[in-house]
Amino acid sequence: MERYKLIIKLDDLEDEEIFVDISPHARKRMGKRSIDPNSIYGSILSLGERLLEFKNNEEFIITDFFLDEAIVFGIGIEDFDIVVTVITVLPTAHVYAKKGQTIINIDDLL
């Protein structure tokens, strides 16, 4: 699994380090669908403080209809670090949410 570090602004006073893991499955799908990793990072950054609303081990989906991308994420805490895992990426037409998953349209975050 590949790990990247992002610095995200969570409030006016504090920056938070967020670690992003991209699963091998997601990396494969990104290649097949020509999805740029920067759009994934941008999706995470656009959450801002809302990222803190998710519970440990919760999954959520961010959709971007303009780019025709849906990204399935998981969030967790490892050694006091926030880790967001990219589970898979898919076209927005193929999105379905499992019980307990939240779907967020990126346009609602901007």
Distance, CA of 8 to CA of 22 (rounded, Å): 18
Answer yes or no: is pLDDT of 2 > 90: no
Distance, CA of 51 to CA of 90 (rounded, Å): 21
Answer yes or no: is pLDDT of 12 > 60: no
CATH number for the domain including 21?
3.30.2310
**Residue 72 belongs to domain spanning:** 2-108
Answer yes or no: is pLDDT of 17 > 90: no
Please state the rounded mean pLDDT for residues 31-44.
Answer: 89
Q: What is the pTM of this model?
A: 0.86
| Residue 69 pLDDT | 92
Answer yes or no: is pLDDT of 104 > 80: yes
User: If DSSP codes are grouped into helix, strand and coil, which group holds residue 72?
Assistant: strand
pLDDT band at 108 (very low <50, low <70, confident <90, very high): confident
Distance, CA of 29 to CA of 87 (rounded, Å): 10
The predicted-structure confidence for 40-97, as pLDDT tens digits, reads as follows: 888 888 888 888 889 999 999 999 999 899 999 999 998 888 899 999 999 988 888 8
